[in-house]
Structure 1
Amino acid sequence: MMELKNKKIAIIGLSRTGVATAEFLSRAGARVIVSDTKTAPFLEKEMEALKGLELDYELGYHGEKSLAADLIVVSPGVPLDIPFFKKAREKGIPIISEIELAYHFTEGKIIAITGTNGKTTTTSLIGEILQKAQIGKVKVAGNIGTPLIREIGDLGQDDWLVVEVSSFQLETIVDFKPDISLFLNFTADHLDRHKSLENYWLAKKRIFENQTSRDMALVNFDDQDVMKAVKDFPGRIYQVSMDKKVNPGISLVDNKLVFRAEDREEVLINCTDIPLPGLHNIQNVAFAALTAYLLGIPVEIIRNAIRDFKAAGHRLEEVCLLENNILVIDDSKATNPDAAIKGIESFTRPLVLLAGGQDRNADFTEWGRVVRERARVLVLLGETRYKMREVALKSGFPNINIHIADNMKEAVEIAAQNLKPGDCLLLSPACPSWDMYKSYQERGREFQDLVKTL
C-alpha cells in the first residue's frame, strides 16, 4: 500500500475529483497542496467543501509549491502537455491519476468500462444487475460522476467496484488493474486534448496494460480498433458482436442476445425486453449481460434488471409527447458525431434535429450522410453551426431545410415552426456543450424546459 502520512502531495485541478482527492489525502495524514489556475473567487464552492481541512493552496497558477511535492495527483480535466508537467517530469516527480491513487487503497474487485460512447449506460446497468444479485457490496464510480476515491472504503475481497474510466483518467495510471475490463467501441473524440487519433487510442488501450492471465477482457468484435487493442492480451477474451456469431462471447441472433462458449449456448435476453432504443443500446446491454453472466449471476436476475433499467437523463430521454403525436427526445449526452449518429438511427419517425455545440475539430462527414438520409429539418446552434451547415450541404441536405439559431430558445422556436404531425423533435448535438453551457445536463434541461412550453 502506498505510504501517505507526512508525504507532500500536490493536487492539480480543484474539480469534483480534486475535492474528493484532497479530502482523502488529508484524512490519510498527507501534507496536501491544492493548485488550480482559477483564483479563489471562482472556486468558492470547492473551497467551502474543503473548509476545516489543513490544506495549502496555490491558486491562479501551478508553481513552486506544487513542484516541491513528492507526488502529483492530476484531475482528469487538466491537460498533461502544459509547461508545469514538463517541469515536474524534469524534477522526477511522479504524476498519477485519482483512479491510480484509489486503486492502491481498495481490496474490492474492479470492473472497468471504457469506450468512446455508451460507458455510462453500460456502467450503470452492470451496477444495477450486480446489486440485484446481492453478490457483495457493489459501488458504481469513476467518470460516471462519483470519484472512485470516494467509494473505496469498507470494501473487502468479495465486493465490487464498477468504474467508468475515461482516456483522461487512463493517461496517468501506473499500476491500476481491473479484474474485468470492457472496451465498448472506439471513434474519434477529444482530439483537442489528445492531438491525434493514435494518442487517443493509446490512452484507451491502457485499460488492459496491467492485466494478467487471471483477468478478463470484454471487447467489441465489430470494432477493428478495439480488437487491435487486445492483440497481446494475456487473459481471457470474450467478444460482443451485433453482426457475427462469436465464441466465446455474446451475439445478436434473431433479435436475441445469445451467449456461446465452446459447445454451450444460452439466450440471455430477447431484445423486445430491452427498454432502451437503438442498436447501440442493445450492444451496451450485451456488454452488461455478458459481464454479469461471467460472474455467475442467474439469467433471470440479469433479465429482470435489464427490463427494469432506466438510463440516466439526457441519453435518448423521452421528454414528452406533444399534440399531433410529436415525440420529443433529449439526447444532449451525444457530445460527438458517432453518439449523435447512433441517436439519429434509433428513430424511424421524420426528424426535426437540433445539433451543434463546442468546436473540438471533429469530423462530421459521416454525420452529414446520416442526417441527409434520416432528418427532414436541421436546426444548428453553437460554435459549430456554420461548419455543420457546410457538411450537411455537401452531403446533399436541402439548404431550404437548414436553419441557424443563436441560442436554444431560438432553436426550439424554429423547430416548432417546422414540426408536422408524427415527427420526432430530437436534440442530439454531436458536440460538447461548453461553448454555451456548463454541462450537457444544463443544455438538456434548458431544451426540456423550452419544449414543455410548446
Structure 2
Amino acid sequence: MKQSKRYTNEKILVLGLARSGVAAAKLLYELGAFVTVNDAKKLSENKEAQELLEAGITVITDGHPLDLLDEGFSLIVKNPGIPYTNPILEKAIKKGIPIITEVELAYQVSEAPFIGITGTNGKTTTTTMIKQIIDSYQPNTALLAGNIGFPASDVVVEATKDNVLVTELSSFQLMGIDEFKPHIAVITNIYEAHIDYHGTREEYVKAKWRIQKNMTKEDTLILNADLPELVELSKSSQAAITWFSTNEKVTGAYLEDGWLTYNDEKIMKSGDLGVPGSHNVENALAAICVAKNYGVDNESIKTSLSLFSGVPHRTEYIGTFNGVKVYNDSKATNILAAKKAISGFNNEQLVLIAGGLDRGNSFDEFIPTIENMKAIVLLGETKEKLQKAAKQALVKEIVCVETMTEAVAEAVKIASTDDTILLSPACASWDMYPNFETRGTEFVDEITKQVGK
C-alpha cells in the first residue's frame, strides 16, 4: 500500500457499515484521517460498530441524523447499498461533499494494478476463473477483491506492486468511483436489473459503463460482442477493445466448432470446461480474453478452466452419488439464469428443482427450456405457475412439494444412474429464505444427509 498523506487530518464520514464500511473506516484511520462512522443499526445490535468504537473511531448509530453533515466533512465513503436518494446523501450532494465507495478509496492507495469485472450475470464466476488462471501462471499473485466478498480496502493493505487485484464490481460500487482505472476491465453482459435502486434501465447501464470512464488506449476493455448495446457503447470508449462471442468470430475469444478459440488459437474444447452451461462458456471466453491480455500461456488457461469446479451456488458441482450428478445453482434467481444453467445438461436425464418468490411474471418463456425434461420438482410461491408451464412443456414427471427436504427426497427417488439433479430455481428465494445462499446451503445439506453418507 502507498504511504499516502492524502487523508491525514481530514474529517471523513463512513456511511453504512457491513464489510466494506468496516474496511474503509479502518483504512482511513490508518491513513491518519479523523473518521466518523454512521450506521442505521442500534449500537447494541451492531458488533462491527462496537469493534470500531473500541478501536478509537467515532461511531454514531441508530439512524442517519441530517445535522451530522454540519461537522465539516471533506468526504463521504458510503456503503454501496445505500441509495443516493437517502436524505443524508441528498443533503451532502447539495452541500457539495464528494461521495465515493470504498473501492475508489482502495484504488487511490493501491500499489497493485486492478482487473475489474462487472456485468449483470456471471461476474463472480468470471472473476474466480480469472484468479485461478493467473494463479496457475504466476502463483500467489492474484488477489480477489470487491463484491465477491473481500473488500478492496482490506485487500489493498497487504497488496504490493507484484500483485494484481481481481475485483468484482457492482453497479452500486461503480457509481461511487472517481479516479478508479483498471488496466483490464470486463463487462460480461448487461440485462435489466436493480431498477428499484437505479430508477431506470438507462441509469443502470450508465453505472455499469463507468468501469471504463478513466481507461485509455493503454488499457484493455473486454466486451460481449453478442449484445448490440455493448457494441454501440464501445464506440464511446477510449480503451482498446477485445471482444468475446459465442455466435461469431471476433477479434478476441470466440466459440468455433466446439473450441474455445482466441484469434485463431484453439485453447480447449468447450466440453472440457470444468462447469457446464452456455453461460459458463461465455464466462470462460471473457476470462480467456483477460488471460491473453495478461500474458498467460494457453496451457495454463486450459489446465485452469478444465479444473474449475465453479463457485458456491453457481452451477456448483456437489458430487456424484449412486451414479447421479448433483449441481447447486441457487444463484439462478431469474428465468434467464436458469435457462443458461439448464442448457448445459440433457433434459431427458435431468431432474430439476425450481420455484421460489412470485414476482408476478409468467413462465411462458421458460417452456422451451424445460421441454421433455425427465422430471421437475417444484416448491415456493411459484410452484403452481411452474407446474402449468411444465405440463405445456411435456415434462415427464411433475411433483409439487412444500420444503427443500421434500424436494430433495423426491428428486433422489426419481433420479437414476447417469441422471443429474440440478437446483436452478428461476426465482428469488425470499418467500422461504433470507437469501439464495441459505437456500443453496440447505439443498447441499439435504443432499449430504439423504444420499451423501
TM-score w.r.t. structure 1 length? 0.88
Contact 1:251 1:257 in 2 (8 A): yes
Q: Distance in 2 between matches of 1:357 and 1:377?
A: 14
1:52 equivalent in alignment to 2:54: yes
How do 1:10-25 residues align onto structure 2 when only pairs under 5 Å count? Answer: 10-25=13-28
Give the counterpart letter for 1:302 in structure 2.
I
Partner SS state of residue 11, structure 1? strand
Matching residue within 89, 92, 106 for 1:88: 92
How do 1:96-175 residues align onto structure 2 when only pairs under 5 Å count? Answer: 96-134=100-138, 137-175=141-179
> How much has 1:17 moved relative to structure 2?
0.9
> How much has 1:361 moved relative to structure 2?
7.0
Structure 1 stretch displaced more, 164-173 or 301-310: 301-310
> How much has 1:327 moved relative to structure 2?
3.1
Q: Distance in 2 between matches of 1:35 and 1:212?
A: 36
1:281 equivalent in alignment to 2:283: no
Q: Distance in 2 between matches of 1:304 and 1:266?
A: 16
Contact 2:377 2:407 in 1 (8 A): no
Q: Distance in 1 between matches of 2:361 and 2:210?
A: 23
Q: Distance in 1 between matches of 2:269 and 2:328?
A: 26
How do 1:191-270 residues align onto structure 2 when only pairs under 5 Å count? Answer: 191-246=195-250, 248-260=251-263, 265-270=264-269
Contact 2:373 2:394 in 1 (8 A): no
Specify the alignment match of 2:326 in structure 1: 328
Contact 1:380 1:389 in 2 (8 A): no
Contact 2:10 2:34 in 1 (8 A): yes
Specify the alignment match of 1:316 in structure 2: 315
Change (3 A) 1:349 1:379: same
How do 1:270-419 residues align onto structure 2 when only pairs under 5 Å count? Answer: 270-323=269-322, 325-350=323-348, 351-358=350-357, 365-372=364-371, 374=373, 376-381=375-380, 385=383, 388-389=385-386, 392=389, 396-397=392-393, 404-416=400-412, 419=415
> How much has 1:77 moved relative to structure 2?
2.1
Give the counterpart letter for 1:330 in structure 2.
N
Question: What do residues 161-207 of structure 1 show as CA deviations (whole Å, max 9, x unaligned)?
Answer: 11111111112212211111111112222233223322221211111
> How much has 1:368 moved relative to structure 2?
4.6
Partner SS state of residue 453, structure 1? helix
> How much has 1:281 moved relative to structure 2?
1.2
Give the counterpart letter for 1:447 in structure 2.
F
Contact 1:7 1:30 in 2 (8 A): yes
Question: What do residues 74-97 of structure 1 show as CA deviations (whole Å, max 9, x unaligned)?
Answer: 112222222222122112221111
Change (3 A) 1:374 1:64: same
1:71 equivalent in alignment to 2:75: yes
Q: Distance in 1 between matches of 2:357 and 2:15?
A: 25
* Structure 1 stretches lacking a partner, 5+ long: none
Question: What do residues 420-450 of structure 1 show as CA deviations (whole Å, max 9, x unaligned)?
Answer: 6654322112334345434432221111111
Question: What do residues 179-237 of structure 1 show as CA deviations (whole Å, max 9, x unaligned)?
Answer: 11111112222233223322221211111111112111111111122223322111211
> How much has 1:106 moved relative to structure 2?
0.9
State the Cα RMSD in Å: 2.8
Give the counterpart letter for 1:60 in structure 2.
D
> How much has 1:315 moved relative to structure 2?
1.8
Structure 1 stretch displaced more, 210-219 or 220-229: 220-229
Give the counterpart letter for 1:194 in structure 2.
H
> How much has 1:245 moved relative to structure 2?
0.9
> How much has 1:143 moved relative to structure 2?
0.8
Structure 1 stretch displaced more, 302-311 or 214-223: 302-311
Contact 2:242 2:252 in 1 (8 A): yes
Give the counterpart letter for 1:57 in structure 2.
V
Contact 2:267 2:302 in 1 (8 A): yes
* Structure 2 stretches lacking a partner, 5+ long: none
The total of aligned residue pairs comes to 444
Question: What do residues 17-62 of structure 1 show as CA deviations (whole Å, max 9, x unaligned)?
Answer: 1111111112122222222222223322x23543632222222211
Matching residue within 433, 440, 450 for 1:444: 440
Contact 1:191 1:362 in 2 (8 A): no
Partner SS state of residue 104, structure 1? helix
> How much has 1:373 moved relative to structure 2?
5.8
* Identical positions, percent: 37
